Every structure is written in C-alpha cells, then in structure tokens.
C-alpha cells in the first residue's frame, strides 16, 4: 500500500531550552495498524510478498511486542491466519499490545526464549498441513524489506526537510533493521549527517555486527556497495540493566518531554533514545545550534502498560 509521509515537526520549546534545533520524524503516527516503525517495515514486507499468494503468517515477539500488534492487525486486514510465538509467560492480564493481538483472534503460543525457532518451524508445519501457504516473518520484522523501508524513509525525510541540513539523526535500535536502513539511506541521500543508534537491548559487539550484516545485505540488493559506511554508532550506555528496564533519570526525561512539549515517549524504546539525545547535548557531544532529527519509532502502548511511570 502506498501511504502518505508521516509528519515532520520542529520541537520549539525543547529546542529553545537546549539551544539546539530538534526536529521529529513522527513514525509513531505511521497511518497503518497502530503506527510505529514496525508498521512501516511490515507494509514493505507484505507488499513485497503479496503476489506470492500467502494466506497465513508465522511470527514471534514478546508480550508487549509492537511488531506482533502490527502483524496481527495487518493479518486481519488481509484476512490471513496468524500464529504468534510469544517468548514470555502468559499473563492473566491481557493489556496493551497483547490485548490488541488477542482481539484480532490470532493464535497465541507461549514459549521460552530458547524455544522460539523450533516453535516457529512447528507453526509453519502445522499451517502447511492445514493447507495454508504461510509467510515466515522474523521477530521485529528483521529482514531486507524491513531495512529497505527505512532506506526509502530517509528520502521521505529529506524531501520534508527541504533546505534544512540535518547534522544528526537519533533512533532507538533493537534488532537494528531500522538503523541499518537509515544508515544506508543517509550515506546515499544526506552525506554530512551522522546516525546515532541507541541500543535498547543488545550489547555493543553483537548489536553492531547485526546492523552491519543488515547493511551489507541491503547494499548488495541496491547495488550500492560503494556507499556502505565503514563505521556506525551503536551506543549501549542508555540501556540501564536491559530491555524494558528503567532508571530514574530516564523516567525524569519522559516526564519532562511530556510537560515541556507534549512529547510522548515510552520507557522501552523512544525514551532511552531521547534521553541519550538530551545527554549528548548537555555534555556537549553535539555542537550548539546543530540540526538534530529524533526519529520517533512509536511505542505509546509500552508507555501505557509501564508500571514504572
């Protein structure tokens, strides 16, 4: 589906207070299946596969996975059967993303983290036996088309920025698909801009390797090996004690952003990336008056279900 660009806005109050020009790319408002980067990725993944006559999907994620929610809503729209492999214990309370997944009637199978691959293979087999033609989508929508969606999104951003030249783009980085696409897009379309990926779950070495792999795959596909950046930034200093774990300074930033500019951030993803951005500015790792784009990847439901804030 071809969809209009997501809004691009200037954060006036926050920019004034920090003497930096901070813009926001509102992928939280991506107009399909609840928005966010997972919706943008899935739109590409499904568009690329639509002619292959699939009628079912197998995918995986955690309890509060934005990817599962987007996939569940998309599957309903298409009238496809969906099996979700959930690597979390079943909670008695269905809330947030999981509530939405359940509402769509998707089949839920709860497993342990180390059982995911096998459970996905089993679900594929089960569907094939029942006569379906299932599409296998990795957790988080981690694949070439996911990165391609963000490669193209950089061009969308560029056209919205007109004469403004971005110096930095900040983005929350999990599976790295989004960052890989943005890195490749920036090296093609926005040469003097630096991408700062803020890790929300992975440690540095592995996280970086996976992003580099996704970038290689994308550059091969695009035939642009010449444009492959040699070095990327994957900053793991803002994780706290791990995925979904919060810390007081992070929560203070989330409160501050809401109060100062009505900017809603979640404690799992965008809060950590935005908190890092503020720290970079305060610690002068970014020159005053720079043009910074904060790529808002969604996550509102992660804020709503959080017991920490």
- Positions touching ligand PLP (CB under 6 A) are 36-38, 66, 140, 172-179, 269-270, 297-299
Shortest reach from residue 32's CB to ligand PLP, in Å: 14
Quick one: CA dihedral 292, 293, 297, 302, positive or negative? positive
Residue ranges in the chain assigned as alpha helix (H): 12-18, 37-49, 66-78, 96-103, 116-129, 144-161, 177-189, 204-222, 248-261, 270-282, 300-305
Shortest reach from residue 177's CB to ligand PLP, in Å: 4
Nearer to ligand PLP, 86 or 127 (CB): 86
Shortest reach from residue 305's CB to ligand PLP, in Å: 13
DSSP 64: T
Nearer to ligand PLP, 80 or 138 (CB): 138
Nearer to ligand PLP, 134 or 174 (CB): 174
Nearer to ligand PLP, 161 or 300 (CB): 300
Rounded CA-CA distance 32/70 in Å is 8
Tokens of 137: 């989508």
Nearer to ligand PLP, 59 or 178 (CB): 178
Shortest reach from residue 181's CB to ligand PLP, in Å: 8
Q: How far is CA 200 from the centre of its chain?
A: 10
Shortest reach from residue 66's CB to ligand PLP, in Å: 4
Measured between alpha carbons, how far is residue 40 from residues 84, 119, 178 in Å? 19, 26, 10
């Amino acid at each position: 589906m071809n969809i209009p660009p997501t809004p691009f806005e200037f954060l006036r109050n926050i920019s004034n207070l920090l003497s930096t020009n901070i813009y926001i790319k509102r992928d939280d408002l991506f107009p399909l299946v609840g928005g966010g980067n997972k919706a943008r990725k899935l739109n590409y993944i499904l568009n690329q596969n639509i002619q292959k006559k699939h009628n079912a999907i197998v995918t995986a994620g955690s309890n509060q996975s934005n990817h599962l929610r987007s996939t569940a809503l998309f599957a309903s729209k298409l009238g496809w059967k969906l099996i979700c492999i959930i690597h979390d214990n079943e909670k008695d309370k269905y809330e947030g993303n999981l509530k939405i997944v359940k509402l769509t009637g998707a089949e839920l199978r709860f497993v342990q983290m180390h059982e995911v691959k096998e459970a996905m293979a089993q679900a594929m087999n089960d569907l094939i036996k029942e006569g379906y033609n299932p599409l296998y989508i990795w957790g988080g929508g981690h694949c070439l088309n996911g990165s391609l969606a963000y490669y193209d999104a950089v061009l969308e951003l560029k056209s919205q920025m007109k004469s403004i030249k971005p110096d930095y783009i900040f983005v929350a980085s999990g599976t790295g698909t989004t960052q890989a696409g943005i890195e490749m897009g920036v090296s093609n379309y926005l040469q003097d801009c630096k991408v700062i990926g803020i890790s929300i779950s992975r440690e540095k070495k592995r996280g970086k390797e996976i992003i580099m792999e996704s970038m290689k795959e994308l550059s091969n596909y695009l035939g642009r090996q010449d444009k492959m950046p040699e070095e990327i930034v994957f900053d793991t200093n803002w994780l706290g004690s791990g995925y979904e774990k919060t810390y007081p300074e992070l929560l203070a930033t989330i409160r501050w952003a809401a109060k100062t500019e009505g900017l809603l951030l979640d404690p799992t993803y965008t809060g950590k990336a935005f908190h890092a951005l503020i720290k970079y500015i305060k610690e002068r790792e970014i020159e005053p008056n720079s043009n910074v784009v904060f790529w808002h990847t969604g996550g509102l439901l992660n804020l709503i279900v959080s017991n920490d804030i």
